[in-house]
């Protein structure tokens, strides 16, 4: 019972302190949040795999995994099972054409 009262008192004190801090930093908080979001977007776009374009109509396994929201190992597994045709540049580097991906996604079977 005593522990619960201490927690309640501590919680209300912490809430009050945080409220005071927000009131003192009212102008800085939105700017800080905006800057953090901008930094996050810039960092993500720098590390995000490229999308297929008319110049490069192929997707890497990482691109396709990101597109399908699946594990990066799923795409090579589908290639090995011959469910998904690919261009094998080396043992570990696969490219999948965008046309193949679109046909696969639409449910068409490739022979």
**Mind listing the pLDDT tens digit for each residue in 17-75?**
878 877 888 777 778 877 877 777 666 555 555 566 666 788 999 999 998 889 999 99
Predicted pLDDT of residue 105: 84
Q: Could you tell me the residue range of the domain that residue 81 belongs to? A: 58-106
Please indicate, yes or no, if residue 52 is contained in any of the structural domains: no
Distance between CA 7 and CA 28 in Å, rounded? 30
Same domain, 88 and 63: yes
Same domain, 43 and 74: no
Please indicate, yes or no, if residue 111 is contained in any of the structural domains: no
Please indicate, yes or no, if residue 14 is contained in any of the structural domains: yes
CATH number, domain containing residue 63: 1.10.10
Please indicate, yes or no, if residue 83 is contained in any of the structural domains: yes
Task: Count the domains in the chain.
Answer: 2
79-89 average pLDDT score: 89
Distance between CA 99 and CA 105 in Å, rounded? 10
pTM of this structure: 0.49
- Phi and psi at 68, nearest 5°, equal -90, -5
Predicted pLDDT of residue 54: 61
Predicted pLDDT of residue 93: 87
**The two three-digit tokens of residue 93, written as one number:** 């580097």
Same domain, 43 and 64: no
């Amino acid at each position: 019972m005593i522990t619960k009262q201490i927690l309640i008192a501590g919680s209300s004190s912490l809430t009050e302190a945080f409220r005071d801090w927000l009131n003192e930093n009212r102008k800085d908080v939105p700017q800080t949040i905006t800057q953090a979001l901008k930094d996050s977007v810039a960092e993500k776009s720098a590390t995000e795999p490229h999308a297929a374009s008319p110049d490069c109509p192929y997707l890497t396994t990482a691109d396709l995994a990101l597109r399908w929201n699946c594990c990066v190992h799923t795409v090579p597994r589908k290639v090995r099972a011959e469910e998904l045709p690919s261009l094998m540049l080396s043992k570990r580097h696969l490219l999948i054409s965008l046309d193949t991906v679109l046909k696969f996604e639409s449910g068409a079977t490739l022979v």
